[in-house]
Amino acid sequence: MQFTAQQIGLLLNGTIEGDPLVPVNQLAKIEEAKPGSLSFLANPKYEQYLYTTEASVVIVNNNQVLAEPVKATLIRVENAYSAFTILLEKYNTLKLNKTGIEQPSFVHPSAQIGENVYIGAFAYIGQNAKIGNNSKIYPQVFIADDVAVGDNVTIFPGVKIYFDCKIGNNVIIHSGAIIGSDGFGFAPAADGTYTKISQIGNVIVEDDVEIGSNTTIDRATMGSTVIHKGAKLDNLLMIAHNVEIGANTVIAAQTGISGSTKIGDNCVLGGQVGIVGHISIARGSQLMAKSGINRNITEEGKKWGGIPFFTGYMENLRIEAAVTHLPAMEKRLVELEKIISELRKDVH
């Protein structure tokens, strides 16, 4: 895809300074841009790059003053950052503008398919499944029987959604994510073997959720595992059966949450965190990367961390610092013991 500065200026309702016919075919940061790139300058901290960049076109704020001559063609707009964001979105939309049903794909005759839908080759849509309007089901996706998918949903290649699960509107699910596999539930028998406990619940993913690649969300034993509206889940997470993730909660990669735990709204969890089952984490909590959380957090809006116990965030930083002093502390302790032993001899 190639555009001229003029075409982009028209799109953004901007003013051109320099050659309006210079072509661009990619978007890049101003400090990394090569010829043929379109870039932007919004943060004054980066102004120096405006005079040295190899970008062919740079979007700047209307009030940008030029301290030196600029080689690139400029497009002046009200807000350079927003204008660039609009271009990012347009680029992505162009790349992801699939529609129609590719063949071979498998759509059960009883499935209900909305309008303006994309169904990629080798995708599987089961019995009584429902796909909303404007949704995109990429190749090799599996949508089991009785699954409902909302409107404007994007499901990338290879996602698997087990039976009975519900996906809201405007949801994005990345490749390899597994929604609705069995919860990890077994009853121990006297002889040491385990009997599987049937997992007949489902997973409910509410509107505006994004789920990262290869994340797994297990179905509830009974009832539902729920990802509430606007939550954002990174790659390779483990969300166990009957967990609830609060609205607008953000969870970084490789974190695992054990069965029946409830994470409140507007929480932020770092990567590689582990949380035991059957506890609650209060709204607005922030958990440091790699933390091991094994108790309820009832106070809202605080930072926590530490492995495998947990303490307040600042207290944990103090503990971490003290841990690095430990070998020295141990030596000092031995030294004190010696001195005291001598002192006692002197005194008695």
DSSP states of 31-76 as a string?
TT--TTEEEEE-SGGGHHHHTT---SEEEEETTPPPSS---SEEEE
Nearest-approach distance from CB 110 to a copy of itself, in angstroms: 15
Nearest approach, Cβ of 321 to a copy of itself (angstroms)? 8
Shortest Å distance, C-beta 80 to a copy of itself: 15
Question: Please, which residues have CB within 8 angstroms of residue 324's CB and are 6 or more apart in sequence?
Answer: none
CB atoms within 10 A of CB 259: 19
> Which pair of tokens denotes residue 7?
């075409």
* Closest-CA residue to 131 (of 151, 109, 108): 151
44 vs 192 by CB, closer to a copy of itself:
192
Residue carrying structure tokens 């001598």: 342
- Nearest approach in angstroms of CB 73 to a copy of itself is 19
Cβ distance to a copy of itself smaller for residue 78 or 318: 318
User: Measured from the CB atom, is 22 or 253 closer to a copy of itself?
Assistant: 253
- Residue 77 or 125: the one with the smaller Cβ distance to a copy of itself is 125
* Nearest distance from C-beta of residue 67 to a copy of itself, angstroms: 25
Q: What is the Cα–Cα distance from 166 to 257, expressed in whole angstroms? A: 20
Catalytic residue flag (residue 241): yes
Residue 19 or 253: the one with the smaller Cβ distance to a copy of itself is 253
- According to DSSP, the β-strands at 186-188 and 194-196 are antiparallel
Instruction: Read off the amino acid at residue 52.
Output: T
Q: What's the rounded Cα separation, in Å, for the pair 230 and 226?
A: 12
CB of 69 to a copy of itself, least distance (A): 26
User: How many Å apart are CA 167 and CA 158, to the nearest integer?
Assistant: 16
For a copy of itself, give the closer residue by CB, 70 or 240.
240
What 3-state class would DSSP assign to 80?
helix
What does the alpha-carbon distance between residue 178 and residue 182 come to, in Å, rounded to a whole number? 10
CA angle 40, 44, 46 (to 5 degrees): 60
Q: How far is the CB of 26 from a copy of itself (least distance, A)?
A: 9
- In this structure, are residues 158 and 141 in contact, taking their beta carbons and an 8 Å threshold? yes
Residue from 108, 174, 241, 325 carrying the catalytic annotation: 241
Q: How far apart are alpha carbons 312 and 315 in whole angstroms?
A: 5
Query: Among positive and negative, which fits the CA dihedral 324, 330, 333, 334?
Result: negative
* H or E element in which residue 154 lies: strand 154-155
Q: Which residues pair with 27 in a beta bridge?
A: 38
For a copy of itself, the closer of residues 66 and 121 by Cβ is: 121
> Could you list the active site residues?
241
